[in-house]
Structure 1
């Protein structure tokens, strides 16, 4: 059964191929992702590949049907993020091995060798990320992946955030024909996903920030200056309710590191920074629906940064106990 948290409908409208022939599968996948050796462990071949391009990011859904072992060549200028939609995948890179159960994701950036095993019936959602994008969001530029993990299973505590980022990217695919008004938001969603990945991969980063505050973070969130930081954070968000905002933007505006910002928000708001941003935007969207009878749910959602209407409605109902359309009907 698929992970229920990510809707693939926009991606399923972009099929590259579907085949029951082993040769066809190998050639097509190699062309889109990476040259590789493919070893079939069964004859139940039911492969399908779906692909969508955002701007510089590419999203794939790939299944083989049968159990397979894949040995790709080393990636040239990109890393992959695998999220298991069904079944189980096992990945071994540079001597490290992990299993990716359904609903979890791993970042793959091998330096020497790579081997992937997919259980029969396994389906994977794959994000292809050019390394050059990491350089664009890191002040050091010219990012070298030599100091990053070859294989990283995203911690359970950040899984929901990653799913939200992937859903936002997939939501972009459902937008009407490209328009100038969409460009800024599309760039925002793409940059947000890359910044999140770099916050996990960057040398010296700590994925379990909440469990290990460290000396620097303890100083950042100490009593001295914490209220000033909280005020700066809220003022920054309120001034940019209708503008793209990334996790790094929030950290810079608050004057702390990304790790320090996470701890600050959890201790004083009980949620992660991007969840706080979402809640404040939901509050603003509700005010719009209450105060402007002519407002539409779709326009309101998009204006406040919600590209996926299903997600917007779910978050709205969770926060206010009713759907946005019910707010319009009941109050007008």
Structure 2
């Protein structure tokens, strides 16, 4: 597909128009839910691993697609875009973007007649590579919705509009593969920045890397966690995970797991949830009771048996 001009169709021609959208953006199943209130409109440009499209159906419709092999990030510039993405219900208005993952059934249950979207399709493998290169995350997950009122969101939507407009005005840009790839890389970098924003004071290490691992350890402290297990939870390498913990928490993943386990034991001893110290310590993953007792005393200033007796 090369850069195209405007495609229009009236409501009784939406079958042909739907075929054009499928070729330009994504294959889908269309259900027309209301009478036409205006012409359908499609403008699209191909930048290799990225495609841009502006789509308005002119009628209220629902659209189903599993977005084979690529992400779709859809920004309603008017009207309402309501979707069911797996277990997530996403309602997007102007200033928000609905993010549809590849190879997963998505139902746009309400695409209002006055809703015109600006969409960016980005190949899954290309985005995975860019996320890894730009933020050090080995993941194919994005948030289900983007807030375009953030600095990163505004930067991305601004580029999406300007690059899309210029590429449609000058089709030779898309025909030059080197230029098209540069434009695709610029847009994708902005999308990644909007999807994985920096947190204050954390430099290039994303706190979400740390938060994801802490949440996993909090959910199952007794599990026999290995460094590889924790790195897989974060979607990064072991060394990068350790750097993130050191920069953000001033500790290591092992030290944080110890803190979580000690807190669980402390709470259970004080609440009387257990007859012996050994029973409670074993419940929360401590296999060596001598080392456990030393760590407990260091943290709480008393022996665990004292906490048990004080209940």
1:129 aligns with 2:122: yes
Residues 88, 184 of structure 1: alpha-carbon distance in 2 compared, 3 angstrom cutoff: same
- Aligned position for 1:165: 159
Shift of 1:109: 0.8
- Aligned position for 2:263: none
Unpaired runs of 5+ residues, structure 2, are 208-242, 248-311
1:97 aligns with 2:94: no
- Aligned position for 2:107: 115
- Aligned position for 1:18: 9
> Do the aligned partners of 2:25 and 2:51 also contact (CA within 8 Å) in 1?
no
Residues 89, 164 of structure 1: alpha-carbon distance in 2 compared, 3 angstrom cutoff: same
Shift of 1:78: 0.7
Render the CA deviation track for 1:270-312: whole Å, top value 9, x for unaligned.
xxxxxxxxxxxxxxxxxxxxxxxxxxxxxxxxxxxxxxxxxxx
Mapping of residues 131-150 of structure 1, within 5 Å? 131-137=124-130, 138-139=132-133, 145=140, 148-149=141-142
Residues of 1 paired with 2:51 and 2:206: CA distance?
38
**Corresponding residue to 1:88 among 80, 83, 102:** 80
1:67 aligns with 2:81: no
Residues of 2 paired with 1:88 and 1:214: CA distance?
36
Residues of 2 paired with 1:27 and 1:95: CA distance?
28
Residues 218, 32 of structure 1: alpha-carbon distance in 2 compared, 3 angstrom cutoff: closer
Mapping of residues 1-332 of structure 1, within 5 Å? 14-21=5-12, 22-44=14-36, 46-72=39-65, 74-109=66-101, 112-116=104-108, 117-137=110-130, 138-139=132-133, 145=140, 148-149=141-142, 151-157=144-150, 158-170=152-164, 171-175=166-170, 177=172, 186-201=180-195, 205=196, 207=197, 209-210=198-199, 213=201
> Do the aligned partners of 2:127 and 2:188 also contact (CA within 8 Å) in 1?
yes
Render the CA deviation track for 1:214-248: whole Å, top value 9, x for unaligned.
698699xxxxxxxxxxxxxxxxxxxxxxxxxxxxx
Residues 94, 213 of structure 1: alpha-carbon distance in 2 compared, 3 angstrom cutoff: farther
Residues 185, 198 of structure 1: alpha-carbon distance in 2 compared, 3 angstrom cutoff: same
> Do the aligned partners of 1:51 and 1:58 also contact (CA within 8 Å) in 2?
yes
> What TM-score, normalized by structure 1, do the two folds share?
0.50
> What TM-score, normalized by structure 2, do the two folds share?
0.53
SS, match of residue 86 in structure 1: coil
Residues 66, 166 of structure 1: alpha-carbon distance in 2 compared, 3 angstrom cutoff: same
Shift of 1:101: 0.8
Shift of 1:32: 2.8
Residues 156, 103 of structure 1: alpha-carbon distance in 2 compared, 3 angstrom cutoff: closer
RMSD, aligned CA: 3.8
SS, match of residue 190 in structure 2: helix
Select the structure of larger CA radius of gyration: 2
Residues of 1 paired with 2:36 and 2:168: CA distance?
31
SS, match of residue 58 in structure 2: coil
Residues 112, 58 of structure 1: alpha-carbon distance in 2 compared, 3 angstrom cutoff: closer
**Across the two proteins, how many residue pairs are aligned to each other?**
201
Residues of 2 paired with 1:30 and 1:55: CA distance?
16
Render the CA deviation track for 1:77-112: whole Å, top value 9, x for unaligned.
111111111111112101111211124323221554
